[in-house]
């Protein structure tokens, strides 16, 4: 539940920031304030398309079973990891997000193109929505429970904080929040890689001679224990990891940290 809450909270905050910046830019000139209805329209379209994407994913892939289901789950975990990594890097590149949005909005505001504004907002909301759908689907495959409750809780908290931020009733260090949550999500993504490798090994798509566990620490912390189950769901912990699981888990963290460090230093 915690993972789904954090993911939904973070993705919603990102969408709210974009929407808030657009409103702030439009509010600087009273003549442009009439365009605010297109911001709401774009938000509605983005949310609607996100819901459709969630339904399609559930409807189209919900009927898989056996090896086909394992292949799909493993593939989705790898794809979700790529999206998650891209999102973490993208956030750290947005040092001048307000200025970038202002530059994109300028042509539409000057010509009064409300649909251009709506399209930009819709794409931003849809991007966050699709990412949320993929992440929550992947979280469900790791054995997480109470996903819906966690997602709704994260959404509500994000909306409340968004309203307070927009009204300037509170001030928080968003940079620190995104940095801290990025570290958590990076470890979560590494866990997805490990889960994906495990699924591919079980169906024989990855070398079976690496399948046997190279380490067994069940006597210290088993997968079935409360804490072990918690760590497995969030960080991909396993008491009996295979050599490939350890390799991919470690390799991903090293590469992700390297990419993140490169982006931040620019």
Tell me the per-residue pLDDT of 194-204, one tens digit each, with 9 for 90 and over.
888 888 888 88
Question: In angstroms, how far apart are the furthest CA atoms of the chain?
Answer: 69
User: Does position 259 have pLDDT exceeding 90, yes or no?
Assistant: no
Least confident among 3-17, 78-92, 199-213: 199-213
User: Does position 211 have pLDDT exceeding 60, yes or no?
Assistant: no
Q: What mean pLDDT do residues 251-255 have? A: 87
Share of the chain above pLDDT 90, in %: 4
Which pLDDT band, with edges at 50, 70 and 90, does 49 fall under? very high
Q: Which domain holds residue 99?
A: 2-265
What rounded mean pLDDT belongs to the chain? 78
For residue 266, the model assigns a pLDDT of 56
Pick the more confident residue, 171 or 203: 203
What residues does 45 pair with on adjacent strands?
A: none
- Count of structural domains within the chain: 1
User: Does position 220 have pLDDT exceeding 60, yes or no?
Assistant: yes
For residue 265, the model assigns a pLDDT of 55
Enter the tokens of residue 12.
């919603």
Is the overall model pTM greater than 0.75, yes or no? Answer: no
User: Does position 264 have pLDDT exceeding 60, yes or no?
Assistant: no
Integer Cα distance of 165 and 239 in angstroms: 43
For residue 63, the model assigns a pLDDT of 60
User: Does position 71 have pLDDT exceeding 80, yes or no?
Assistant: yes
Pick the more confident residue, 1 or 25: 25
Tell me the per-residue pLDDT of 121-137, one tens digit each, with 9 for 90 and over.
898 898 888 888 887 87
């Amino acid at each position: 539940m915690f993972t789904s809450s954090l993911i939904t909270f973070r993705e919603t905050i990102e969408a709210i920031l974009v929407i808030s910046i657009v409103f702030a830019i439009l509010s600087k000139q009273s003549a442009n304030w009439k365009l605010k209805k297109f911001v709401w329209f774009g938000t509605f379209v983005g949310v609607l398309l996100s819901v459709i994407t969630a339904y399609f994913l559930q409807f189209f892939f919900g009927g898989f079973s056996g090896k086909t289901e394992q292949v799909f789950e493993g593939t989705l975990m790898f794809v979700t990891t790529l999206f998650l990594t891209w999102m973490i890097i993208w956030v750290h590149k947005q040092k001048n997000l307000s200025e970038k949005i202002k530059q994109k909005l300028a042509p539409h505001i000057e010509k009064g193109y409300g649909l251009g504004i709506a399209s930009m907002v819709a794409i931003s909301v849809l991007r966050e929505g699709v990412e949320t759908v993929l992440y929550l689907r992947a979280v469900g495959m790791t054995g997480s429970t109470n996903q819906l409750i966690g997602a709704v809780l994260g959404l509500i908290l994000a909306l409340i904080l968004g309203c307070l931020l927009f009204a300037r009733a509170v001030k928080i260090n968003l940079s620190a929040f995104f940095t801290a949550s990025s570290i958590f999500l990076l470890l979560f993504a590494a866990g997805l890689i490990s889960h994906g490798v495990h699924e591919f090994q079980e169906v024989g798509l990855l070398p079976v001679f690496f399948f046997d566990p190279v380490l067994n620490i069940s006597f210290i912390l088993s997968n079935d224990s409360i804490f072990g189950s918690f760590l497995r769901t969030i960080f991909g912990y396993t008491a009996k990891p295979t050599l490939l699981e350890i390799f991919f888990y470690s390799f991903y963290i090293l590469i992700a940290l390297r990419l993140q460090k490169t982006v931040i230093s620019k």
